[in-house]
Structure 1
C-alpha cells in the first residue's frame, strides 16, 4: 500500500465526498442487517402459529387465527420490502458520492501527470517511448481509479457489514456465532498468500501492456515505411508474439483468481453447514429458536457477496498499487532543466558560447568540444558541417533543451541558466529538422505558438514562408484539416508551414535547423529574402548543408566532430582554401554532374 499513499492528498481534497459516502454505507448496511431479524421473527411466528392453527381444527376461531396469521406475515413481508428499498436508496447515495469522487480523482490525476510530462526535459522523451508514456496516463490511471472508487467503496461496505453482522450474531448466541465465523481465519491466510501472487502478476501484465502499446503506436506512426517495404506480414507476426506474452501473463492471473473465488465460496458454504448443524443442536437444547437459525443463514448469505467481493477488491488494490508504482516513477522525476528566477524581460539576441562541451547523457556521444563563438544582435549566422558534426546540438543548447556539460552560454550578458525559461523560449522561433505538424487545421498549425492571432497575421506568415499559394489552392484553404503529422502535405509544404509557425511569432532569435532541404532553390531564395526583411536587426541562425543557402550570411561557422574548425564570411572561407572551400567545390561538381 506504500505506493498508494500518493493518493492521500486527493482523499483529503475530496473528504466531503468520502465522509457522506461512509455515512451512506453504514446506513445502507443497517437497513441490510435488520431484515434478517425480521425474517427470524417471521419464521418463529410461522412455527408457533402452525401448531396453534392445528389445535383449532374444526372450530370457527380457526378462520380468525388464519386471518391474524396472514396479516402478520403480510406485515413482516412489507416491512422487509420497505427495509430493502431504503437500503437500495442509500446504496444509490453511496455510489453517487464515492464513485463520482473517483472520477474527479481520475480527472485530477490525468491533469497532474500531463502537466508533469510537460515539465520534464527533452532527454526524458529520448529515454522513454510514447506508448509507455500514454499507457501510464491512461490505463494505469484507470486502474488507480478502480481503487479509489469501487475498491474503497466495497472494502468499506464489507468492513461495516462484517461488524454489524458479527455484532448481531454474538448478541443472539455466542457459540453459534463462533462456529459460523470459524472458516474466516483460513480465508485471511489464503488472501495473504494470494495477494502477493496477484501483485507480481499485475506488474507483469502492466509492463507487457506498455510494450504492446508502444509497439502499436510506433508501427502506426511508421505505417508508410511498413507498406513501402512490404513488412505487413512481419509486423503482424511480431504483434502476435507480443500479444501472446500479454495473454500468457493475463491468463496466469486469471488462474489464480479462478482458484481464489471458488475457495472463498467453499468456505462460505461451510459456514452455512456449520450454522444448520450447530444451530439445530442449540434449538433442541432450547438455547435458540428456529427463527434464529433462519436469521443466521441470512447473515451468512449476506456475507457471501462481500466475501466474494473481497477477492475482487484485493485484485483491484494490487493492480492499482502496481499501476501507481509505475506512475510514481515518473511523477518523482525532477526536470533536468530548471528555469532561472529572473523576471521576464525582452532579449536582444546577443549569443556567446564560452568553452562549451556537451555529451548526450543517454548515448555517451561527445557532441561538442570546447566550442567558442559569438553572435551579435541582428547578425545572420550560418552553421555548416558534415552529418553528426554537432550542428543540431548547437540549436538545442541555444534553445536550452539540454544544459551544457562544461562551459557556459551567455545571452545578452546573462547566463542562459539564469533566464526565465518560458519567457526566453517565447522569444525564439525554432524550425526543427524533423517537421512536426498537428492533426488540426493549417491555420491552427501556423498560429500554434500564439494564444491569440488574426487571419491577416496567419496569411502574412504563410506568404513570408512561401506557402500561401499552395494553401489557397486547397478547397478549404487555411481551414484544411491536416492528417497525423501533417501527412496531407508534401515534404516541402510541411517545412514551409513549420517556417510560417516560427515567423508569425516575430521572434528576437530565429533558428532554422536544416529546414530548407525539401524546398527548391527558387522558393528557398524567396524565403531567405523575406527572412532578411522580417529579421532586420534580429538574430538569425541557419543550419544548412547547401552552401548556396548560406553564402550571404554575415558569419559562417564550420563544424567538424563537435569543434569549430573555420569561421568567417563566404568569401573569407573560400580564400582560406580549407574545409569550407572543399565542400563548396564538391557541391559545385555535384551540381554540374546533375545538370549534364
Structure 2
C-alpha cells in the first residue's frame, strides 16, 4: 500500500468529491439495511395475523381481519419499495461523485506522467524501450484508476454495510450475531493469504505485458525490415511464446481467484445455516421472534455481495499497487540534464575546452579531450569514420547529454548555466536519424513554430529543395504521412527535416549527417541555399562526403573521439594527413562509379 500513498495528493485535490461520495455511501447503506427490519416486522405480522385469522374462523370478523392483514402487507411492501428506491438514488449520487473523481485523477496522472517523460534526458530513452513507457502511461494508469474509483467505492460501501449490519445484528440478539459471524475470521485469514499471491502474480503479469507491448511496437515500427528479410513467421513464433507466457501468468491469477470466490460464498452459506439453526433454538426458547430470523437471513444475504466484492477489491488494490510501483519508478527519476536559468540571445560563438564524454549506460568514451573554437557566422564542418564521435559532438552541443569533463562555452557563457528551452529554440537541429510525425507535410515542416503562414512553409520547402516533390503529390502540403514518414523516400524525409529546421530561421544550424540520402545535385542546391540563409549565422555540418564540406571555414577531422586534424579544405589537403587520405579514397570511389 505504501506505493499508493502517492495518490493522496489527488484525494486532497478532489476532496469535495470524496467527502460527498462517502456521505452518499453511508446514506445509501442505511436505506439498504432498514428494509431488513421492515421485513422482520412484516414476517411477525404474517405469523400473528394467520393465528388471529384462524381464531375467527366462521365469524364475520374474519373478513375484517383479512382486509387489515392485506392493507398491512401492502403498506410494508410499498415501504420496502420506497426505501430501495431511495437507496438506488443515493447509489447513483455515489457513483457520480466517486467514479467521476477517478476519471479526473486518471486524466491528471496521464498528463503528469507525459510531462515528466518530456523532462527526462535522452539517456533515459536509451535505457528504456518505448513499449514499456507507453504501458506505464496507459495500462498501469487504468489499473490505478480502478483503485481510486471502483475499488475505493466498494471498499467504503463494504465497510459501512458491515458496520451497520453487525450493529443491527447485535442489537437484536448477540448470541445469534456471534454464530452468524463465526466464519468471518476464517475469511480474514483466507484474504490475507490470497493477497500475497495476487500481488506477486499481478507484478509478473504487468512485466510480461510490458515485454509483449514492446515487442509488438518494435516489430510494427520495423515492418519494412521484417518483410524484406521474410521474418514474419519467426516474429509470429516469438509473439506466440510471449503471449503464452502472459496467458500462463494470467491463468495462474484466475485460478487463485476461482478458488477464492467459491470459498467466500461457502463461508456465507455456512453463516446462513448457522443463523437458521441457532435462530430456531432461540425462537423455541422465546428469546427472539420468527421475524428476527428472517431479518438475520436478510442481513447475511446482504453481506454476500460485499464479501464477494472484497475479493475483487483486494485484487484491484493489489494490481493497482503493482502498477503504481512501476509508475513511481519513473516519476521519482530526476532528469540528468537540468536547465540553467540564464537567458541568452544567441550570437553563435562556440568554444569546446578539453571536453570528454562517456556514455553512462555503455561505458564507452565517445569524446576525448576535444578543444576547438567557432566564431559567429562561421561554417564548421566535422568529418570522420563511423563511430568517431561526430553525432556525440552534436548532441553535446544541443545539451542532450552533459559532458563528463571539460567545458562548453556559448557566447562566453557555460552551457550548463543557460536556459535550455530558450537556447534550443534558437537552434535549427537536423538529427542523423530523421523522424517525421504521422501528420501532414505542412505540419511536419512547421513543427518548431506555434504560428506559421503557408508562404513560410513553401519557402522552407524550396530552401530544402523538396518543394517540387511535395507539389507533385495529389494533396501537396496537406499530404498525410504514415508512421515515421513512411510515405516519403529517404531523401525526401531528410529534406523535409531540413525544411523543419530552416523555417525557424535559427541563429545556429546543426546538420548531423542529414544529406547522406541526397544526390549530389540536390546537395549542392541545398548548400547554396544555406549559404544565403545562414549568412552571418553559425553553421555546423557533420558529413561523410568531403564534397559536402569543402567550402567550410573550418573542418574538424575526428578519429576515435579525438580531433586529429583541423583547418580549411586546402590546408588539410596540403598537410597530407587523414583528411587527404579520405579525400583520395572518395575520389577513387567516384571514378570507379
Q: TM-score range by the shorter chain?
A: over 0.9
For residue 206 of structure 1, what is the aligned residue in structure 2?
A: 206
Question: 1:505-520 maps to which residues of 2 (within 5 A)?
Answer: 505-520=504-519
Cα distance between partner residues in 2 of 1:527 and 1:417? 33
Are positions 1:443 and 2:442 aligned together? yes
For residue 122 of structure 2, what is the aligned residue in structure 1?
A: 122
Cα distance between partner residues in 2 of 1:176 and 1:119? 62
Tell me the secondary structure at the aligned position of residue 448 of structure 2. coil
Are positions 1:100 and 2:107 aligned together? no
Are positions 1:522 and 2:517 aligned together? no
Cα distance between partner residues in 2 of 1:509 and 1:391? 17
Are positions 1:12 and 2:20 aligned together? no
Q: Deviations over 1:364-413 (max 9, x none)?
A: 11101000000111000100000000000000000000000010100000
Q: Deviations over 1:508-558 (max 9, x none)?
A: 110000000111111100000100111011000000000000000000000
Are positions 1:71 and 2:71 aligned together? yes
Question: 1:154-233 maps to which residues of 2 (within 5 A)?
Answer: 154-233=154-233
Deviation at 1:55, TM superposition (A): 1.1
Q: Deviations over 1:343-368 (max 9, x none)?
A: x3311000000000001111111101
Cα distance between partner residues in 2 of 1:184 and 1:377? 80
Q: Deviations over 1:150-183 (max 9, x none)?
A: 0000000000000000000011001001111111
Uncovered stretches (5+) of structure 1, i.e. residues with no partner: none
Question: 1:362-381 maps to which residues of 2 (within 5 A)?
Answer: 362-381=361-380
Deviation at 1:57, TM superposition (A): 1.1
For residue 53 of structure 1, what is the aligned residue in structure 2?
A: 53
Cα distance between partner residues in 2 of 1:365 and 1:31? 69
Q: Deviations over 1:290-337 (max 9, x none)?
A: 000000000000000000000000000000000000000000000000
Cα distance between partner residues in 1 of 2:317 and 2:345? 52
Deviation at 1:60, TM superposition (A): 1.2
Q: Deviations over 1:212-244 (max 9, x none)?
A: 000000000000000001111100000000001
Cα distance between partner residues in 1 of 2:450 and 2:362? 37
Cα distance between partner residues in 2 of 1:224 and 1:369? 37
Deviation at 1:427, TM superposition (A): 0.6
Cα distance between partner residues in 2 of 1:449 and 1:234? 40
Q: Deviations over 1:561-592 (max 9, x none)?
A: 00000000000000000000000000000000
For residue 405 of structure 2, what is the aligned residue in structure 1?
A: 406
Tell me the secondary structure at the aligned position of residue 373 of structure 1. strand
For residue 324 of structure 1, what is the aligned residue in structure 2?
A: 324
Tell me the secondary structure at the aligned position of residue 447 of structure 2. coil
For residue 575 of structure 2, what is the aligned residue in structure 1?
A: 576
Q: Deviations over 1:258-284 (max 9, x none)?
A: 111011101100100010000000000
For residue 300 of structure 2, what is the aligned residue in structure 1?
A: 300
Cα distance between partner residues in 1 of 2:356 and 2:432? 22
Q: Deviations over 1:414-437 (max 9, x none)?
A: 000000011000011100111000
Cα distance between partner residues in 2 of 1:143 and 1:252? 19
Are positions 1:361 and 2:366 aligned together? no
Tell me the secondary structure at the aligned position of residue 448 of structure 1. helix
For residue 257 of structure 2, what is the aligned residue in structure 1?
A: 257
Are positions 1:141 and 2:135 aligned together? no
Deviation at 1:59, TM superposition (A): 1.1
Cα distance between partner residues in 2 of 1:364 and 1:446? 36
Cα distance between partner residues in 1 of 2:407 and 2:317? 49
Cα distance between partner residues in 1 of 2:196 and 2:379? 64
For residue 88 of structure 2, what is the aligned residue in structure 1?
A: 88
After superposition, the CA RMSD in angstroms is: 0.5
Structure 2-normalised TM-score? 1.00
For residue 468 of structure 1, what is the aligned residue in structure 2?
A: 467
Tell me the secondary structure at the aligned position of residue 131 of structure 1. helix
Cα distance between partner residues in 2 of 1:258 and 1:25? 29
For residue 132 of structure 1, what is the aligned residue in structure 2?
A: 132
Deviation at 1:475, TM superposition (A): 1.1
Cα distance between partner residues in 2 of 1:200 and 1:510? 52
For residue 280 of structure 2, what is the aligned residue in structure 1?
A: 280
Cα distance between partner residues in 1 of 2:293 and 2:433? 77
Cα distance between partner residues in 1 of 2:367 and 2:120? 23
Q: Deviations over 1:460-505 (max 9, x none)?
A: 1001000011111111111110000000011111000000000001
Cα distance between partner residues in 1 of 2:514 and 2:286? 95
For residue 591 of structure 2, what is the aligned residue in structure 1?
A: 592
Cα distance between partner residues in 1 of 2:404 and 2:50? 94
Number of equivalenced pairs = 593
Deviation at 1:559, TM superposition (A): 0.3
Cα distance between partner residues in 2 of 1:98 and 1:321? 19
Tell me the secondary structure at the aligned position of residue 447 of structure 1. helix
Deviation at 1:56, TM superposition (A): 1.1
Tell me the secondary structure at the aligned position of residue 543 of structure 1. strand
Cα distance between partner residues in 2 of 1:433 and 1:174? 79
Tell me the secondary structure at the aligned position of residue 160 of structure 2. helix
Cα distance between partner residues in 2 of 1:442 and 1:224? 21
